[in-house]
Each structure stands twice: as C-alpha cells, then as structure tokens.
Amino acid sequence: MDGGVVYGEGMKGKVIDYGTITNDLDSLEHIELHNVKEVKMYLLEQDDIIEYTKGPELVDELIHLDTSQTYVVKEFTIPNMAIRTFGHSKKTYMMREINGFRHILPVVKKHKIVGMPYKKHTLIGFEIIMKNKGLVYDGTTSRCFIVNRKCSQTMSETIVNQFTEKQFVQFVEDVLKTLIDIQKLDVAHGDIKLANIMKCGNKFELIDWENNRLLEYSFLKKNKYIGLSPLYFKINYGTAWYPAFKVALIKYFQETGGYDSYTHSQYATTMIEEYTKWFDKYSDEEIVEQIKYSLDLCAFGMVLYGIMRRNPNIKKSHHTFIMNLYKMKDAATALKLFRNHKTRKI
C-alpha cells in the first residue's frame, strides 16, 4: 500500500487499485503518466456504453475529475503466464468487464455499482495509449483501467464467520435481490464467492461482473464459463466434467469455506449426486432451460454452507434452505422461502 495505491494479484495477474484510502484526495493523481498519445474513454450514456477517443489533453481532465472519492480505479497490469498462454491481455480483461456491464445496464443504473460522473454521463473505463517511447509494465504501449464504485469492506471468512443472525439475514437477502434483478435480464453473475461480495454503505453488493453470461445455451456453449456449477463443466468438458469440477471445488475451498474438511463438502456432494441424475436423463441444452436461473445459487449455497458450519450465531433452521439452494427454481423463489423460514424439503 502506498499513498492511495493498493497492489494485488489474482487469476487475471497483477492489478492496482487507486484511491482506496479514506479521505484520499484525487485517486487518479497517483497514476504517473508520461508520453500520452491518446485516451479511449468508455462512457455510460442512456442505454449503452459508448467509446470515445480523445487527445492527451483529456488525461489532465480525468485526473481532476472528482474529489469526492466515491469510486476506485482499477488498473490491469501484467497478466500471469498461464493467462498469457491463452492470448489474454490487459485489454482483454478491461473489455470483458465493460461488455459484462452491457449485459446488466439496468442493474448498473439501479445499484450504481460502477463508474464516476464525467460531465453528464458515467465513466466506466478508459485506456491510455502511450507514444512509442512510453512502454509500460509488459512492453506494451497502453494502460487499461476500470472504474468501480467505492465500497467499505470486502467479505472474508473472518468477517462472515462473525456475522450476527441479523447480519446474515441481510447478507442473504441483499445478494438474492441482486440475483433477482439480473435474472430478469436472463443473465448469471458467474463468479459468486466471498471476495466478490462487498459491503457498500449499508448494503451487501456483488462486484466483479466480467464473468457474467447470457443464459442462452448457444451463448454458454461458445463463451466458456467458470461458475461453480456442475452444468457448466459438463458443457465445457463433456464426460470429463466430474474431475474438472472437483478441481474447481478445491479452488473454492479457499474462496467460500464451504467444506467440512479440505477435500469434502457435504453441500457439494449432494449437489453432484443430483446433477449426475439430471445428466443421465436430459441433454445439456434441456437442463440449461430447466435450471438456468438456479446456477448462481449453486455457488452462493457453497458460501452460505461455509458460514453456517463455522458461525455459531447462525440459526440451524437455515440448514435445509441452504442445502437445497442449488436446486431452487430461481432467486425470487429462494428469497420467498428464506423470508418464510421454511425448512421443508424442496
């Protein structure tokens, strides 16, 4: 951490967050810029995200755009080696997030989950093109940024395992409400885990929308998906779906805590058994149409299972709800059942 700058590294490689310090002044003032050739801006205007290209004079305008610090600017730097072998770049991930926001524009506006004000519109992201002598990070001549709403707290096992019952109920309801909103658009978030849920003001919000997918079989087949659901591994790996899914579950051990031990999760075991029956009976396309709105619930159930097992404040009456979350019809059904405190078998 260095004067309003936070460095991190994840699956996409290295990232830098600017403006994450409370009472920090201008977040973009921490970005050192030299030899700028042009700037590409991505602005939310009414019902679309529009690209504009402007000269280097725009950089100063961006830097002094806002002093309210209601946003965080994320810069993608060097993708890790595994990511580069698939041909992905900094620009790839910037555009994936921007296109992800296009799928959920009504939700973006309602929840104000991205962007900062730029004159009359909302700045979603921008790319700064450098002159030939302005090589940065990995030898390229551009820098790629996404603007996100500033939130106060990222969820972690330490935090959720100390939730009160009241906090847990709000946590479940806030996430399900967002899933209801995106399911109305025929979209799945696709990467629900603790690190992608934040406390923003007095609400829990989903973040990191680059993996969201339209819930159409042809789209899902073409655009590979990382969500924690056996169905997507079946679509991507065919008969080898089970070992691939088990690898993903081990990864999720660190991200959801939804395990009884390092190698076993009762929630995951039950889910796998149920999906195996469906795979024997229906085609992938038929299953997508039947359960597509419950797919995000698979991963969210893993998160909630971990909280339930490790947090003594959470009522045991939630057990049946959580254990059956992956096979509920949709988020609206799940929210209704949760509010009614019903624990009957689904």
Residue where one domain finishes, among candidates 149, 166, 185: 149
Give the mean model confidence (pLDDT) for residues 122-148.
Answer: 80
Is the residue at 346 inside a domain? no
Count: domains in the chain: 2
252 located within any domain: yes
In sequence order, which ranges of the chain are alpha helices (DSSP H)? 57-63, 81-84, 90-103, 105-111, 157-160, 165-183, 217-222, 230-237, 241-256, 266-281, 284-291, 295-310, 319-323, 331-339
The band of 274, judged by pLDDT with boundaries at 50, 70 and 90, is: very high
**pLDDT given for residue 323 in this prediction:** 94
Residues 239 and 255 in one domain: yes
Q: Are 160 and 138 contained in the same domain?
A: no
Judgement on whether residues 116 and 193 belong to the same structural domain of the protein: no
| Domain limit, last residue, from 99, 118, 149 | 149
Q: Do both 137 and 174 map to the same domain?
A: no
Dihedral sign, CA of 101, 221, 93, 6?
A: positive
Query: Of 17-26, 67-76, 108-117, 322-331, which has the strongest mean pLDDT?
Result: 322-331
Which of residues 122, 149, 176 is at a domain's end?
A: 149
CA angle 97, 251, 317 (to 5 degrees): 95
At 259, the pLDDT band (50, 70, 90 cuts) reads confident
Confidence (pLDDT) at 135: 59
CATH at residue 177: 1.10.510
* Shared-domain flag, residues 33 and 181: no
Whether residue 306 lies inside any domain: the answer is yes
Whether residues 105 and 198 fall in one domain: no
Domain co-membership, 175 together with 282? yes
Is 296 a domain residue?
yes
Q: 77 falls in which pLDDT band (50, 70, 90)?
A: confident
pLDDT at 98 over 90: yes
pLDDT score at 342:
46
Is 332 in the same domain as 185? yes
- At 181-237, the pLDDT tens digits run 999 999 999 889 898 899 988 999 998 888 888 998 888 888 776 678 898 889 888
Determine the average pLDDT of the residues in 98-113: 89
Give the pLDDT band of residue 300 (cuts 50, 70, 90).
very high
Q: Are residues 224 and 291 in the same domain?
A: yes
Q: pLDDT at residue 264 above 50? A: yes
Per the structure, the complete domain to which residue 175 belongs is given by 153-339
Residues 138 and 87 in one domain: yes
Is residue 42's pLDDT more than 80?
Answer: yes
Q: Mark whether 47 and 196 lie in a shared domain.
A: no
Same domain, 171 and 185: yes
- Quote the percentage of the chain above a pLDDT of 70: 81
Helix (H, G, I), strand (E, B) or coil at 306: helix
